[in-house]
Structure 1
Amino acid sequence: MAQRAGSADLPLHGGRVPKWLGERMTKLGAVITEAVVHHYGRDELLRRLAHPFWFQSFGAVMGMDWHSSGITTSVLGALKRGLTPLSSELGLHVCGGRGSHSRKTPGELVAIGDRVGFDGGALATASRLVAKVDSAVQDGFDLYLHGFIVTDDGKWVVVQQGMNGDKRQARRYHWLSEGLESFVNSPHTAIEGRSQGNIINLADRRAERSRTGQLDLLATLGPDRILREAAALALDIAKPAPQPDQPLLPHLIMPAHHDVREKDVNMKRLHGNLAAAADRGPEDFEQLLLVPGVGARTVQALAMVAEVVHGAPCRFSDPARFSLAHGGKDRHPFPVPLKIYDETIKVMKSAVQKGRLGREEELQALKRLDDQPRQLERYVTGPDLKEIVAGEFRNSPDWGGRSVFGWEEEDSP
């Protein structure tokens, strides 16, 4: 049976991803995906995409709003744009999307199946069933996004999202084909979102008798009599009986505030990232990578990208920390430093391209950059978050700082 990974609160955010950021997210998302597949394989990539904490951190390291529902749309869009040209090489295919694009998913799966050899019709049915089941989870969230990522051997992950406009909340649903035995008995790997009171989840394994009973009622009474009986019951409804508690799962709380605060970040891990960049940078990035123009600030960003590639699940309980790699499009925690972002992409592309040819030195340097923080964070200290963010703002004009509000100027606060 597929494992549940947890839940989270996701505030709804409006707006669009600007072109200058979307293009970079496409490049960085693709090269991070290539690195994960190179080191750990396609199955592991699917497991990570089905993990809500990793997914949120993945979006944050790419410069999206670190806490919002917009990460879902932007990450899936970036992966679809970035991985489509690499689909033959990686054996990965991204289907679906938001709105009308979600309804094209079955046709895309059939076409890809005809091309690469898996049963596209069966996966098209799976896509429809996933959407139907999450629609049956009567939690007040209307589905508006459906992303289906499938490998050449027919394994898949689905990430889809619903919104509750009245409550300004979103809920993200994760599915993974690995270990899936049934579409109607607790199939989710994760459901993200704020608890909104009692939820009628007909996809829960404990609802099997309810599903069977509903079908029996429909067959014996018919819809008209059922409606009359329901109306009569509504007049005499008592206090609902207490429901059995759901199993305790990891719960990631995405706060409503836009700014990144110290309580949102595991500071020991952040100080470990910074110390690792200072420690490994001079040795690895001058003697091994030899990429002109790569400075200390780029190495700090690369330390967080390396953790997204290599980190264990427990490392992603504070997605806000990963926004300190490349900032955020809304200027939180600071404007996106485009020069640093472009250097990060350049280094990652160089490492992955050489890794394809069997030259692993640069990929191994990045791996060491991920190993080091866990050794250092036990005892290193550093500046508080306000100091770190203030330094980013001071340097923002020199680093090509940009947000949806425009370029950063020398006299910016």
Structure 2
Amino acid sequence: MSRAILDVMLLEWGPRKLVERLSNPLWFQGLNNAIGMDWDSSGSTTVTLGILKDVVRPEEDGLAILGGKGRNSLKVPTELRALPPKFNVKPEELERVSFLTAKVDTTLVQDGHILYHHSMLVTDQGEWAVIQQGMNLETKFARRYHWRERENLVVEPHEAIAGTRVGVAVNVTDEDRERTRRLIQDLLRTNPRKVVEEFTKARNALRGQLSLDVWTSGGTTGAISKEAKLVYAKPIDERRVMRILREVYEAQPANLEESLEAGLGPSTARALYLIADLIYGEPPSYRDPVTHPYDPFKYAFAIGGKDGIPYPVKREVAEEVILTLEEIVERAKLEEREHRRALYSLRRLKQGNFSSSGEVGELLSDRRSQETK
């Protein structure tokens, strides 16, 4: 079913449009349901992308799906370098995109979901999309992050985020948090010992142990919401934070993207966000970044679901759909071949290359025969 749908999409619109469609969470969910997958499980991402990766033929389709679940997500760099020669891509640039999209969704956006799936979609012209998924170990709900080709990977970078809202998250990718992003970057270029001292002050302020210099520096001094406080309840290894701060400080990154590449991770970033909020009064956003809450299973009625909801997959319906789509594709390909043959023959006729008028008659006879069929 997946291959039949892909054939129609590729024939009608080409690989670029297919990548655009897959980066839309509603279209992705519709495809997932149309091939008979569960509408409400994490498998709707991992299995669907796994199936697509199996059926896509990069050399023929001009499209490749890289990475996958667990350890397979780490194979993107290797798979980029193994793409067919027809792919006009720069592997090192796309490898950087793959790395940064994963870092943003674990470090700049901290919403309680741990990434366990990362897929990159690449066309032969270098257009890309990233679809990755995280799991909240407490709620057992998954969240899917959709990315598609853009220059800035740290400011409102997502095409969409699909999932169940959790109510609060730490997020510095919001467009209105530019001052927070600049402050974080300034802290990363500050002597690490000074930063750790400020973290200690901020942590004490969070516990209600205020000091005079916190008041005079303009921090929020405890005005942080109760929900937001829960975000900072996770323990932070200060020795590890110091080591990361030193590494990033020595790299002297020019921007936030370079800071992520230099080693900035979730724990260190969380310490910096707390400093930014309670010491300098520049908090991150605590808005949950979900843009598309899970939609009811509208497309699950297409052929049914393997979980039996809303009814078990109707194999005869699925087979009929597959055969119909394959027939449409074959007919379109035949018409295209005949169209190309006719144009070629007309060019030869114009150039006087036909051996005889009988060859023209043979061409027209073949064409009428095909139309009759």
TM-score by length of 1: 0.59
1:78 aligns with 2:62: no
Aligned residue for 2:189, secondary structure, equals helix
Q: Which has the larger displacement, 136-145 or 209-218?
A: 209-218
CA deviations on 1:106-150 (whole Å, 9 max, x unpaired) are 221122176633111110111001111111201111100011110
Aligned residue for 2:66, secondary structure, equals strand
Amino acid at match of 2:22: L
Residue equivalent to 1:138: 110
* Contact in 2 for aligned 1:49/1:55 (Cα 8 Å): yes
Aligned residue pairs, count: 265
* Superposed displacement of residue 230, structure 1: 2.6
Aligned residue for 1:96, secondary structure, equals strand
CA 245–227 in structure 1, closer or farther in 2 if over 3 Å, else same: closer
CA deviations on 1:177-223 (whole Å, 9 max, x unpaired) are 1xx12011111000112221222112223233222212322333414
- Identity value in percent: 37
Residue equivalent to 2:123: 151
Partners of 1:167 and 1:65 in 2: CA distance: 19
CA deviations on 1:224-276 (whole Å, 9 max, x unpaired) are 3233223222222524269989799964435xxxxxxxxx4xxxxxxxxxxxx
Residue equivalent to 2:294: 253
Residue equivalent to 1:16: none
CA deviations on 1:294-336 (whole Å, 9 max, x unpaired) are xxxxxxxxxxxxxxxxxxxxxxxxxx23222221111111111
Amino acid at match of 1:352: V
Aligned residue for 1:116, secondary structure, equals coil
1:41 aligns with 2:25: no
Amino acid at match of 2:222: A
CA deviations on 1:150-185 (whole Å, 9 max, x unpaired) are 0000001111010101012111100011xx120111
Q: 1:124 aligns with which of 95, 101, 123?
A: 95
* Contact in 1 for aligned 2:73/2:119 (Cα 8 Å): yes
Q: 1:107 aligns with which of 72, 78, 85?
A: 78
Aligned residue for 1:358, secondary structure, equals helix
Residue equivalent to 1:386: none
CA 215–359 in structure 1, closer or farther in 2 if over 3 Å, else same: closer
Residue equivalent to 1:329: 306
Partners of 1:208 and 1:110 in 2: CA distance: 36
Amino acid at match of 1:39: E
Provide the aligned C-alpha RMSD in A.
2.5
CA 106–226 in structure 1, closer or farther in 2 if over 3 Å, else same: farther
Residue equivalent to 2:5: 32
Partners of 1:117 and 1:102 in 2: CA distance: 22
1:189-268 alignment to 2 at 5 Å? 189-222=159-192, 223-236=195-208, 238-240=222-224, 251-254=292-295, 264=296
Q: 2:329 aligns with which of 352, 370, 385?
A: 352
1:182 aligns with 2:152: yes
Partners of 1:149 and 1:123 in 2: CA distance: 10
- In the alignment, structure 1 segments of 5+ residues that lack a partner are 1-27, 255-263, 265-319, 361-413
CA 114–171 in structure 1, closer or farther in 2 if over 3 Å, else same: same
CA 204–111 in structure 1, closer or farther in 2 if over 3 Å, else same: farther
Residue equivalent to 1:410: none
Higher Cα radius of gyration:
2
1:359-370 alignment to 2 at 5 Å? none
Partners of 1:109 and 1:167 in 2: CA distance: 35
Partners of 2:39 and 2:30 in 1: CA distance: 8
1:257-296 alignment to 2 at 5 Å? 264=296
Aligned residue for 1:59, secondary structure, equals helix
1:59 aligns with 2:32: yes
- In the alignment, structure 2 segments of 5+ residues that lack a partner are 209-220, 226-282, 338-373
Superposed structure 1 runs of 4+ greater than 4 Å apart: 241-250
CA deviations on 1:361-401 (whole Å, 9 max, x unpaired) are xxxxxxxxxxxxxxxxxxxxxxxxxxxxxxxxxxxxxxxxx
CA 167–63 in structure 1, closer or farther in 2 if over 3 Å, else same: same
CA 243–97 in structure 1, closer or farther in 2 if over 3 Å, else same: closer
Residue equivalent to 1:311: none
* Superposed displacement of residue 339, structure 1: 2.6
